[in-house]
Structure 1
Amino acid sequence: MALKAVHVSDVPNLDQVPENATLALYSGRFSKGNDVRATLKSPKFMVIGHRGCGMNMLHSSDRRMQVIKENSILSFNTAGKFALDFVEFDVQVTRDDCPIIFHDIFILTEENGCVTEKIIKELTLAEFLSYGPQRDTGNVGKALFRKTKDGRIFNWKVQDDDSLCTLQEAFQKVDPKLGFNIELKFDDHIVYQEQVLIHILQVILRVVFEHAKDRPIIFSTFHPDAARLVRILQSTYPVYFLTNGGTEIYPDVRRNSLDEAINLCLANGLQGIVSQVKAIFRNPGAINRIKDSNLTLLTYGPLNNVTEAVYMQYLMGIDGVIVDLVQEITTAVSDFIKPAVEGEEESCTEGDGRIQVMTRPKFSQRELSFLLKLIPELIQL
């Protein structure tokens, strides 16, 4: 696929880039009018697999969080067996400019009886792939460990392990009909120069445009400037801004509320918001403001593993959820959007001369009671 070279002076809001720099843009797949909005709205409630078939929580008592290695080819393909629209995963770039899939900024192993950690962006691709199970069964990889937010360290062992992988491998080895929600991952503790962000994004976009073909793609990121830049660098795929919506506070005020997220999207032509679900339950009025801004709204967070919380979002008009318990949530969503069966509440509408049955989801009395109790508790979280 041919590259279209565009001089920095032709691209807005890139004042910090040297005048002699160029941006390589792939043009072959750009939508007509450079507008991706028409492709955004899904007629169904979307379910997206978090890091594939769910994140690994090694300290959790829930064994379902320790079944399959997160962010792996095995996890993506397993998730694809269920009624998912996308798998979500985290992309970083190695020191030798290879986009790899890994969530944490640091990678931990054991050397001489001590746990050591290295920064992902300082590793070469070969060094990164030397951790964990190896594709070549004749090799033995370095042991993998993981640190929790409170500093505890766990041996990264799961029931079904798999090798670390690159973004290119994911495109080549995962069912092409399964969409990719590519989270562009950056270190919250680093202030990135704009030219550094541009370089990282160019490296990732090169792989995407060489290998995506017809696969549905969404870009998302917590980094406001990376969101702005990836929207400038390409117009083929939608860009969503990830936000905690005020559930955590950051020095960059653009990250600290749903209103700031809306403003960022509108100012930079982004197409959607991915919010921590607690922020939505705290501030349900934001849903209308987001919808009135013609933005798609997805959510993430542990509450999305609770069927009743997902059902609430379906009723509230949220467009989709990112979940860990892929099998459980896809089954539940299929149940509450499936055609009517005998005994369920129905309403009728006329269309093309036939009667079409519209149904409302129906839970057991226990589930409904829990749901009613849940609403005020979630808003107060």
Structure 2
Amino acid sequence: MALKAVHVSDVPSLDQVPENASLTLFSSRFSTGVEMNNNNNNRASFKIPKFLVVGHRGHGMNVLQSSDKRMKAIKENSIVSFNSAAKYPIDYIEFDVQVTKDDCPVIFHDNFILSEDNGSIFEKRVTELCLSEFLCYGPQKEHGKVGKTLLRKTKDGKIVDWNVETDDSLCTLQEAFQQVEPTLGFNIELKFDDHVVYQQDYLIRVLQAILKVVFEHAKDRPILFSTFQPDAALLVRKLQSVYPVFFLTNGGTEIFYDVRRNSLEEAIKVCLEGGLQGIVSEVKEVFRNPGAVTKIKEAKLSLLTYGKLNNVSEAVYMQHLMGIEGVIVDLVQEITEAVSDMIKPPKVDEEDEKLSEGDGNTELKAKPEFSQRELSFLLKLIPELIQL
């Protein structure tokens, strides 16, 4: 069933810019922000001034069945996870926002919350819970209070306990603004169910609830919206012009009824027709189809990627060489260190100081170097190596 198209021309632009929101927010924050200027095409001219590293769901997503302890070290999409990521030289954190039945934006990835009661497992849709019901799952903020068991369904359908080394309570979008390091950028993914047809009035209500919190609490924090839902992407761009909107896409690694979601070429069309500023693609599709990067650049769109390969430093460096502007990663510490070593050039005085220390045998980490011919060969080879 295709997602219902929304006629954004019928939706009035809100542009509810708060008094404390700087219209030069992005151009003045080159360390963590982005640069935007309005043009005559109703689409902001958008430029990311540096290679961005974005923490996936904060410090990294939870893969509870993984043998890698790093994938279940800290509860994803939590205040603890966000502030843990902030300890590293990271630019943004990415997290998923849904809106409860009583119009409160909360941070949670899955469409359903799973729990257990008297030996029976049940699930409830996050958007059908009121805020108080949502917050009663998992660890509780109130000392001595015990929350309901929080379970999770793995990709292969197994139900497992949501056990992590460092747990934390569920949180709202407002709490994230109030409790997370204020210089850390927020990549707010507008989360919707792939299998639900959304009516226009529902999408508008949800987006307005999220924008209200953003406008009231963002202050000077860099903000970037993204979503897999094409109509939501078009609407949030229509409802405000302060913050950039990126269209999330699997790029064809997974097929949907809505053709707008099935290729990078379709993603480009969505962005150009709706005045969006960029694309966030599954990294495998970019490696399979490196020519799409050129098309995206020619369309003057920015490009970020997500996916497991972004936890491999060499794959991240290849993207930097290809002109991709940033990566969303799970292994925040490892990838920020790799980016610092391979991409960001050392300062001259720091390099001289290192060479002068010790017995003269100190070695600096050298970034990989590729000639244009070698890079061309690698780009031709990678699509053959990346399998569906």
TM band (smaller chain):
0.7 to 0.9
Alignment check: 8 A CA contact 2:22 2:220 kept = no
Cα gap change, 1:314 to 1:34, in 2 (>3 Å): closer
Residue 146 (structure 1) aligned to one of 121, 127, 152: 152
Alignment check: 8 A CA contact 1:48 1:88 kept = yes
Matched, 1:275 2:281: yes
Matched, 1:112 2:118: yes
Q: CA deviation at 1:225?
A: 0.3
**Identity percentage over the alignment?**
67
Cα gap change, 1:80 to 1:30, in 2 (>3 Å): closer
| Residue matched to 1:334 | 340
- TM-score, structure 2 as length reference: 0.84
- Deviations along 1:148-200, one digit per CA (max 9) or x if unpaired, are 12211110010000000000000000011000000000011110011110010
Alignment check: 8 A CA contact 1:34 1:236 kept = no
Cα gap change, 1:341 to 1:46, in 2 (>3 Å): closer
Look up the equivalent residue of 2:44 and give its one-letter code.
R
Matched, 1:76 2:71: no
| Residue matched to 1:27 | 17
Residue 56 (structure 2) aligned to one of 32, 46, 50: 50
* Structure-2 separation of matches of 1:280 and 1:224: 20
| Residue matched to 1:88 | 94
* Structure-2 separation of matches of 1:330 and 1:302: 15
Matched, 1:203 2:209: yes
- Structure 2 unmatched ranges of 5 or more: 1-5, 25-36, 349-364
* Match runs of 1:1-381 below 5 Å: 13-15=8-10, 24-28=14-18, 29=21, 31=23, 37-38=44-45, 40-339=46-345, 361-362=367-368, 375-381=382-388
Q: CA deviation at 1:137?
A: 1.4
* Structure-1 separation of matches of 2:326 and 2:196: 31
Alignment check: 8 A CA contact 1:278 1:378 kept = no
* Structure-2 separation of matches of 1:125 and 1:90: 16
Q: CA deviation at 1:379?
A: 4.4
Give the superposed CA RMSD: 2.5
Q: CA deviation at 1:361?
A: 2.2
* Structure-1 separation of matches of 2:141 and 2:273: 45
Look up the equivalent residue of 2:64 and give its one-letter code.
L
SS in 1 for 2:8: coil
* Structure-2 separation of matches of 1:338 and 1:293: 27
SS in 1 for 2:382: helix
Q: CA deviation at 1:307?
A: 1.0
Alignment check: 8 A CA contact 2:260 2:270 kept = yes
Q: CA deviation at 1:327?
A: 0.3
SS in 2 for 1:143: coil
Alignment check: 8 A CA contact 2:289 2:383 kept = no
Which fold has the larger relative contact order, with Cα–Cα distance below 8 Å and residues 6 or more apart in sequence? 2
Q: CA deviation at 1:360?
A: 7.7
**Higher fraction of strand:** 1
